[in-house]
Amino acid sequence: MKNNDVQQAAEIIKRGGLVAFPTETVYGLGADAFQPIAVARVFEVKRRPFFDPLIVHVADSEDLEKLVIEIPPHARKLMEQFWPGPLTVVLLKKEEVPDIVTAGLPTVAVRMPRHPIAIKLIELAGSPIVGPSANPFGYLSPTTAEHVQEQLGRQVDLILDGGPCEVGVESTIISFSEKEPRLLRPGGIPLEEIESIIGRVKMGGRIEEKPSAPGMFPRHYAPRTPVLLDWSEKEIDGYRGKKIGFLLFKEQNSFLTSYPAEVLSKKGDLREAAANLFSAIRRLDSLDLDFILAESIPETGLGLAIMDRLRRASSQATGSKQ
């Protein structure tokens, strides 16, 4: 069922049900963070391994207090600057936070989304809400209510439709579980903006922590069709007899336009490209192609998050250091 009734959605959450909801980044699969059985259903529906912890969404500082023990000064600065918005911070959790939410880790990932429907839902439900992206584990995140409907449809009690997501890539995750802040996932807030406020941030997960942030698994955010990066126009002849399509960053006036192609942003604007990314890959993925050839994008601003997702989609990622 798909509608706009936030009140009804909040009732479903209170009763331990599942609601897919829009955020400014991607659609989330929501359940009350303090109802472990409801949270277990989220894992089940996503077919997500239980060792992969969830992000908890809050609407205000009262919600936050239910979740975390303390907020280091650098984390506080980032929250003041970027909340509500596409920033997730990993902080030491309170004992009351169910272990199923955090996969037994001593930390919890928290974010305050900017989408008015998401905020309203959390407020009316009266409790923080877990919200992994509303897609089967390993596949691309949904950026419209239709994407959720296609993939999780009947298994979700309600899908709130807020239209296409404005940002289009998931939140930036910064961990404060060690002394120094660490980037666990590039996302909707550019790293440059974060570093301009708190200085240098370490990159990537610690090796021993590796499976704790499977958004960092090499192959993730992946369509069914193999995605290739690092190709050159000269090699295209070699794909004769194969069905190929292109995921292009900017408008091209070359022969590439005689193939199925998606252009992420005619002008080469990174924000527009991020907002279009997952829908464009989904459209190419529905064409039954043998390969999607993706153009590389400059890794500044949102380009870092876009290239991270493309590398994972192409499984050319080296794994831990993004």
Does 171 engage in binding with Mg ion (CB under 5 A)? no
CA 82 – CA 77 distance, rounded (Å): 9
Q: Cα(316)–Cα(182) distance, rounded to whole angstroms?
A: 23
Q: What does 282 interact with, of ligand TXA, Mg ion, none (CB < 5 to 8 A by kind)?
A: none
The dihedral formed by the CA atoms of 122, 205, 300 and 194, expressed in degrees to the nearest 10: 50
From the list 133, 143, 225, 314, which residue makes contact with Mg ion (rule: CB under 5 A)? 133
- Partnered with residue 88 across adjacent β-strands are 173
Instruction: Pick out residues in 297-316 that bind ligand TXA (CB under 6 A).
Output: none
- What is the number of H-type helices and E-type strands within the chain? 10, 15
> Using CB under 6 A, which residues numbered 183 to 212 contact ligand TXA?
184, 212
Is the Cβ of residue 108 or residue 198 nearer to ligand TXA in the bound state? Answer: 108
**Residue 207 CB neighbour total at 10 angstroms:** 9
Selected range binding ligand TXA among 105-113, 260-268, 269-277, 281-289, rule: CB under 6 A: 105-113
Cβ atoms < 10 Å from Cβ of 112? 22
Q: Which parts of 79-98 interact with ligand TXA (CB under 6 A)?
A: 86, 88, 90
Exposed/middle/buried for 312, CB within 10 Å: 0-12, 13-18, 19+? buried
Q: Which of 85, 132, 168, 186 binds ligand TXA (CB under 6 A)?
A: 132
Residue 70 main-chain phi, psi, to 5 deg: -150, 160
Query: Which residue number, 24 or 198, has a Cβ lying nearer to Mg ion?
Result: 24
Closer residue to ligand TXA in complex, CB, 158/289: 158
**Under the criterion CB under 6 A, does residue 173 sit at the interface with ligand TXA?**
yes
The partner residues of 244 in beta bridges, in order of sequence, read: 291
Kindly write out the interface string for residues 153-172 of this chain, putting x where it contacts ligand TXA by CB under 6 A and - elsewhere.
-----------------xx-
DSSP strand pairing (19-21 vs 107-111): unpaired
Nearer to ligand TXA, 84 or 303 (CB): 84
Residues near ligand TXA, by CB under 6 A: 23, 25-26, 28, 52-55, 86, 88, 90, 102, 105, 107-109, 111, 113, 131-133, 170-171, 173, 175, 184, 212-215
